Amino acid sequence: MTSLILKRIGIGMITALAVSIIIFFGTKILPGDAAQIRLGQEATEANMAAMRERMGLDKSYVMQYVTWLGNFLSGNLGISLASDVPITDLIADRYQNTVYVSVLTSIVAVPVSLALGILAAMFPGSYYDRILTLVSVTLVAAPEFFTATLLVLLFVFALDLGNAVVVGSPDGKGLFSMYAHFALPIATLSFVIASQLIRMSRAAVLNVMSSPYIEMAILKGVPRRRIILRHALLNAIGPIVNVVALNLAYLVTGVVVVEVYFGYPGLATLIVQGVQTRDFVLVQGLGMIFCLTYVILMLAADVASFASNPRLRHPK
């Protein structure tokens, strides 16, 4: 198992390195001059040349990449071109907001979705299973902004129970006050990830139910509920954990539409602002943070899969 984990860590490091190359050189081909963005449109050629030398932009792209990667690994993300503020300070103001919404959404959406998917696997072909499948497929097809619009129309305009714009952090520190403050973004994200978790957990359990040892247990008269909870679910944990990890990564890295829609100041809106203002340093730093978040979560999912599946721990 140790060798498998080390192999996954190596793959994750190679993935992060490849993404860093794509992010760095991808931002380099974008229109705009970083020195001119820092100094403004009225800057002279001499001032811009001095600024390029100060920022290291007079060096080759390879040397710039090596310097940038070394600074990133040491925790130095650079200075924002748009606001002249350290990137770490900008991220510190927004990171907490994104974590709030991501954690609160996962606390509600993940266990509820898994429970609904397992229940659907207990009664395949029933009205409950058909209705749940129809709803989950519909939610998968519905984009985030459409779901958010329906929630705003229902709760804000029809029932007058909230605000369409979420500003700042909650006033109180209690769990209920936090859910009340982020109710609409959490509901939107919950519907998005629930549609995938329900279908995948149901499919994973039903796939295990076709195994010979499960069929033998059915022939012996073991109740279906006990078969699923005591036997099938343990062997379906691997694919379920991978889907959960992918959705948790989405909560941190893929909430651009939701944050922009509700005007919520998180990391996703920050990277959008960085693209709009041609703040290449900010985009590079946030892009790598999103990549590392994804790699770490997938590594945790792989470790959980190895731990739950003896065939992976002891391959022939």
pLDDT digits 0-9 by tens, 232-277:
777 777 778 878 887 887 777 667 778 888 877 888 888 888 887 7
Please name every residue paired with 79 in a beta bridge, in sequence order, or none if there are none: 86
**pTM for this model (two decimals):** 0.76
pLDDT bracket for residue 119 (50, 70, 90): confident
Residue 165 has pLDDT above 70, yes or no: no
Q: Which domain holds residue 108?
A: 95-265
pLDDT at 151: 84
Q: Which residue has the higher pLDDT, 255 or 286?
A: 286
pLDDT bracket for residue 297 (50, 70, 90): confident
Q: Which residues of 186-205 are buried (b: 16+ CB within 10 A; e: fewer)?
A: bbbbbbbbbbbbbbbbbbbb
What is the mean pLDDT of the segment spanning 74-103? 81
- Judgement on whether residues 82 and 99 belong to the same structural domain of the protein: no
Please tell me what DSSP assigns to residue 301. H
Domain CATH number, residue 242: 1.10.3720
- Judgement on whether residues 79 and 100 belong to the same structural domain of the protein: no
- Is 173 buried (19+), middle (13-18) or exposed (0-12) by CB count in 10 A? exposed
Residue 164 has pLDDT above 70, yes or no: no
Q: How does the average pLDDT of the chain come out, rounded?
A: 80
CA separation for the pair 202, 134 (Å, rounded):
13
- Judgement on whether residues 119 and 226 belong to the same structural domain of the protein: yes
Residue closest to 170 by CA, chosen among 104, 244, 72: 104
